[in-house]
A and B are shown apart, each in its own frame.
Chain A
Amino acid sequence: MIDEPLEELAALHALGLLEGEELASFPTKMGRDPELARLVDELREAGAQLAYTAHSPSPPRELKERLLEKVDTALRFRAEQHQPRKLAAPAWLPWIVAAVLAVGGAWTGQLYLVSRSESAMLRDQKILAEYELTSARNQLRAERLVIHHEVATATDQAGAVQRKLEAAEAQAGQAGLQLTAAQKLIAARDLQLAMANDRSAALEAQAKHDADLANFQIVTLGSLLGSSPQALGIAVWNPARQEGILKVEKLPALAADQDYQLWLSDPHAPAPVDGGVFSIDPETGGARIIFKTDKPIRSIARFAVSVEKKGGAPAAEGLMVLQSK
């Protein structure tokens, strides 16, 4: 009968988990108790079945090929070792062998002494080499520990940096979104501003236009001719632009060396200002001209049209045919 503590040791031994004193004493117990040894074997068998449950890829195919190559090499080596070597022995061979043995014995004796010395030296070298190997291993182990520590530290630092980087990237992403939104807002505001400016300009133009219209001076020019009492003219003056339009009708035709000339009477000017010459349609006696003055006009008291020589005169000299009131 195996009690529980012994069963426990058997289970641990089956899985290779015994250590120290327990490991040292357990084989003796197994040797004395075949039932205990059998239990260990059975538990080892049961535990071994777990290997089939481990998830795993298949071992590399090359592994089998490599193993078979090694087996082939071992088989060839064994075959060579076991090949019989048959040589014909001549009759004088024993004498030769005896002579060789005699000489060889002396030589071997000397060789033995040399070999002993060399063996001792080799042993010393081996001990020294083992010592150096142990030192190297210890140093390597120490270096591994240091490197592992450094790697762990560096990994921690890298992790912290990575986390900061991710946080910064997140903030940058957020800021980018905000920037995009702000840019859209600015673009919308710019558009609104441009539209407002356009509206303002339009309103300003309209206002200016309205102001111009209000300031326009419109007068009728009546006939001074007894022969053409139906002749008339209408003048419109835009003081802001210093230009105007004159439309005349039913004026009598002139001689080829004559032109009609428009005069503008500015109270602030010493003499009527020249508004330009014009000719009429001979059939209707009408004309429509846009006129400007060479001198600035502050206000117009009167419009007049006279008959002048061809090309006009610097001052009104000819017959006045139309005049405003």
Chain B
Amino acid sequence: MKTDQTFDAAAAQAERAHTDADLLQRIARDDREAFAELYDRLARALYATALRIVADATEAEDIVQDVFLSLWEKASDFDPGRGTAFAWALTLTRDRAVARVRGRPRRAEAPARATAEEAGLKSGAGPDSALRLLGKEHAGALRAAVASLPPEQREAVELAFFSGLAQPEIAARLGETPETARARIRLGLLKLREALGGRHD
């Protein structure tokens, strides 16, 4: 059963998505100001994600630049029926970041990841996260949704989202079988969708 807070958050999220979609439509008509505004709305979260995955500020910057240039060039390809502009931009960001991580030599992964963790680039909805870009209801609902996940599911989902690792490596990192890791990712993501006001059957 959805709470009032969840409804408010879902409404805030929908409004935000609507605004992002409008901006993308304006960008498709070569609207420079719309591009600048979309950058202000999305850049921090995209940069945070890229940085968390590649653990290298210069690479993260390259990735975000590449993504925004793609948004400028391909804004007309955006289909609001397939998802939000944010999810689209984030998918572009993650794809590029994961490709970079998986293109690295194996031995280089361990120190890079250690560096990222030492640098405090963990998720957790802290004061340095991009949460402050969201409205109060949306940020509160997101915090609550992440906090509501059982720890093992939360760890699996965060590792799947932020690590850039493939399935077998995620399972190894979790110390579980691949089947268990897949199940935890499924359950965690479904629960997150439900907590954020998405569909639930």
B and A form one assembly: yes
CB of B125 within 8 A of CB of A53, answer yes
Is there a chain B Cβ closer than 8 Å to A241's Cβ? no
Chain B min CB distance to A235 (Å) = 101
CB of A71 within 8 A of CB of B126, answer no
Q: Contacts A51-B49, A59-B43; is A44 near B121 (CB within 8 Å)? A: no
Q: 10 closest Cβ contacts across the A-B interface?
A: A56-B48, A46-B193, A54-B48, A59-B47, A53-B123, A51-B45, A11-B186, A48-B87, A51-B49, A8-B186
CB of B133 within 8 A of CB of A52, answer yes
Q: For B195, give the chain A residue with the smallest CB separation.
A: A46
Q: For A55, give the chain B residue with the smallest CB separation.
A: B128
CB of A48 within 8 A of CB of B47, answer no
Q: Contacts A50-B162, A54-B130, A152-B107; is A16 near B94 (CB within 8 Å)? A: yes
Interface string of B33-52 (1 = CB under 8 A from A): 00110011001111111011
Q: For B182, give the chain A residue with the smallest CB separation.
A: A8
> A78 vs B139: C-alpha distance in the bound complex, in angstroms?
40
Is there a chain A Cβ closer than 8 Å to B61's Cβ? yes
CB of B30 within 8 A of CB of A49, answer no
**What's the count of A-B pairs with C-beta under 8 Å?**
180
CB of B129 within 8 A of CB of A55, answer yes
CB of B72 within 8 A of CB of A55, answer no
Is there a chain B Cβ closer than 8 Å to A202's Cβ? no
> A59 vs B86: C-alpha distance in the bound complex, in angstroms?
17
CB of A63 within 8 A of CB of B61, answer yes
A-B contact pairs, 12 of them (CB 8 A): A11-B190, A17-B185, A38-B199, A41-B87, A45-B83, A46-B189, A48-B90, A52-B133, A52-B134, A54-B51, A55-B124, A68-B36
Q: List residues of chain A with CB within 8 A of the CB of B175.
A: none
> A12 vs B124: C-alpha distance in the bound complex, in angstroms?
22
Is there a chain A Cβ closer than 8 Å to B59's Cβ? no
Q: For A59, give the chain B residue with the smallest CB separation.
A: B47
Beta-carbon contacts under 8 Å, B175-201 to A: 182-183, 185-186, 189-190, 192-193, 196, 198-199
Beta-carbon contacts under 8 Å, A35-82 to B: 38-39, 41-60, 63-64, 66-68, 70-72, 74-75, 78
